[in-house]
Amino acid sequence: MSGANHPEQERQPYAPTPRPGGRSARVRADVVTATLAEVAEKGYDGLTVEAVATRSGVHKATLYRRWGGVDGLVADALTASADQPWPLPDTGDLRQDLRRITQEVFSVFTDPDLGPTPTALISAAQRSDAGAAALHAFFTARHRQAAEVAERAVARGELPAGTDGAEVVRAATAPLYYRLFVTGEPLDARTAERAADAAALAARAGLFTSALAAEEAHAKPNTTTPQGN
């Protein structure tokens, strides 16, 4: 039981090797590519180490040695995927920005071509500790990146100072992921809009200000942040 909120310890599935350049790097790239392709084709249940070994041309034993199994393969693929940033909207209006974000999530996951890969990847990641850690890191990075739309809104005076931007993003996207990965309910564009609007509304009301950040903001002579009742 660790109550630490500071997961500074992000360790990649394989230890930094004394021979990082050359073949090892090539092998890793091939394996990640093969893993993503396999997941996209067969989903997680159809994902086997042997299939990845065959497709990548890397021997089965090597995969088990370096990645430990399907868990590690998925975790590493997820880590590699996390590096690719996605476009961040900047319309000048918080609600519009959030709508763009939820719309983007909706589009990706419901697209019959694009959707299966991240869907299977996320489902797969929930099964193992390594995958869960990679998934946590993935979303932490996403939240941190997307929090900028809220921070800009704060700078504009649209949101109270001390607003937790990542929390705003979570509030906007949570209903989508909730349907996709928990209840299995259908997801439509209207739901994506409503979620964004609800998050914007709550953020404007000051629901996502952390007490600590609010105090810091009070010290500054700029904005008064009345705690919404």
Partner DNA sequence: CTCGTAATGCGACTTGAGTCGCATTACGAT
Partner DNA sequence: ATCGTAATGCGACTCAAGTCGCATTACGAG
- State the residues that interact with a second copy by CB under 8 A: 1, 3, 5, 44-45, 112, 122-123, 126-128, 132-133, 135-136, 139-140, 143, 167, 170-171, 173-175, 177-179, 181-186, 194-195, 197-199, 201-202, 205, 207-208
Kindly state whether residue 52 participates in binding DNA, applying the rule CB under 7 A: no
Rounded CA-CA distance 157/152 in Å is 9
* Residue (49 or 214) nearer to DNA, CB: 49
Cβ neighbours for 18, distance < 8 A, ≥ 6 positions apart: none
- Enumerate the β-bridge partners of residue 163: 209
Rounded CA-CA distance 60/49 in Å is 7
Kindly state whether residue 29 participates in binding DNA, applying the rule CB under 7 A: no
How far is CA 155 from its chain centroid? 25
| Tokens found for residue 209 | 């200000």
Rounded CA-CA distance 48/95 in Å is 43
| Tokens found for residue 113 | 């071509």
| Member of 12, 33, 48, 103 binding DNA (CB under 7 A) | 48
* Nearest-approach distance from CB 83 to a second copy, in angstroms: 18
* Residue (34 or 175) nearer to a second copy, CB: 175
Kindly state whether residue 220 participates in binding DNA, applying the rule CB under 7 A: no
Q: Which does 185 bind (CB under 5 to 8 A by kind): DNA, a second copy, none?
A: a second copy
Kindly state whether residue 81 participates in binding DNA, applying the rule CB under 7 A: no
* CA 139 to each of CA 9, 142, 147, 150, 219: distance values in angstroms, whole numbers, following the listed order: 15, 5, 12, 17, 31
Kindly state whether residue 132 participates in binding DNA, applying the rule CB under 7 A: no
Q: Which does 126 bind (CB under 5 to 8 A by kind): a second copy, DNA, none?
A: a second copy
Q: Which does 187 bind (CB under 5 to 8 A by kind): a second copy, DNA, none?
A: none
3-state percent breakdown (helix, strand, coil) of the chain, nearest 5: 65, 0, 35
Positions touching DNA (CB under 7 A) are 11, 17-24, 27-28, 48-50, 57-62, 64-66, 69-70
